[in-house]
Amino acid sequence: MSRFVLATANPHKVTEMRAVLAPLGVDLVDRPRGVPDVDETEDSLEGNALLKARALVRSTGQAAIADDTGLFVDALDGRPGVLSARYAGAGATDHDNVVKLLVELDGVDVDRRGAHFTTVICVAHPNGTWFCVEGVLEGTIAARPAGEQGFGYDPVFAPFGQGGRTLAELTPDQKNAVSHRALALRALALELAQR
Ligand code: IMP
């Protein structure tokens, strides 16, 4: 059985990762208490995910898995992108970020509101080897928030193929069937199974 320490402390993500990887015999260990968050100083999702995975390898001596996600909006030249978590400023809430996004897109036509989520997941080993995988979900930014499920930008992101519903209007199972994170996790599972 392979064993990895997880960089994320988000229980929602931990559950989702275990659900996909446990059947493959992959044991995911929670980040030890006292291991601090890493500042995301790189300018790409892969750079930041790798930064987090490598920092965890250094502090635990064990193989580690870290992820990073961004929302890329076509009409905003890819913003908020790598800065999605801090779009409305340091310490911004999900609500602050969603409001800022809708203000920036005010007056932008429905056919110019294309966007995608990308999740990158990186694995780093104590011997210095590493690899990353990614998952992408295409859709559009809705004119106004809808739905109560999920988190982050879910209330304003309507994935293609879901009848115009936002991610926040899908059940967790429906979201997990199509989401950027689930796709990245499946790519990770495939990669781990081949090694
Ligand atoms: P993180 O890299 O997962 O911490 O996410 C970066 C930013 O993207 C944060 O603002 C999250 O709220 C947002 N985000 C990440 N995943 C999702 C998602 O599945 N739906 C909506 N927003 C997300």
Q: How many CA atoms lie within 13 A of 47 on its CB side?
A: 8
Please tell me the distance from the alpha carbon of residue 136 to that of residue 115, in angstroms, as a whole number.
Answer: 10
Structure tokens at 42: 């790189």
pLDDT beyond 80 at 1: no
Instruction: Give the pLDDT score at 172.
Output: 87
27: annotated active-site residue: no
**135 CA distance to ligand 1 middle (Å):** 13
pLDDT at 175: 92
Q: Whose CA is nearest to atom 3 of ligand 1?
A: 69
Q: If you average pLDDT over every residue of the chain, what do you get?
A: 94
**Token pair in block for residue 33:** 């208490």
DSSP string covering the chain, please? Answer: -EEEEES---HHHHHHHHHHHGGGTEEEEPPPTT-PPPP--SSSHHHHHHHHHHHHHHHHSS-EEEEEEEEEEGGGTT-EETTGGGTTSTT--HHHHHHHHHHHTTT--GGG-EEEEEEEEEEE-TTS-EEEEEEEEEEEE-SS---SSSSTTGGGEEETTSTT--GGGS-HHHHHHH-HHHHHHHHHHHHHHH-
CATH 3.40.140.10 fits 2-194, yes or no: no
* Ligand 1 centroid, distance to 127 Cα (angstroms): 30
Choosing from 67, 84, 94, 122 the residue with most ligand 1 atoms within 8 A of its CB, the one to mutate for a pocket test is 84
Q: Quick check: 19 pLDDT over 90?
A: no
Provide the residue ranges of all domains of the chain, joining segments of one domain with +. 2-194
Our answer on whether the CB atom of 147 is closer than 6 Å to any ligand 1 atom is no
- Whether 97 lines ligand 1, by a CB cut-off of 6 Å, is yes
Q: What is the pLDDT of residues 107-148, one digit of tens each?
A: 999 999 999 999 999 999 999 999 999 999 999 999 999 999
Ligand 1 lined by 69 (C-beta under 6 Å) = yes
Task: Provide mean pLDDT across the span 85-90.
Answer: 95
Average pLDDT over residues 159-164: 97
Kindly report the pTM of this predicted structure: 0.95
- Six-digit token string for 101: 């996004």
Alpha carbon of 102 to ligand 1 centroid (Å) = 16
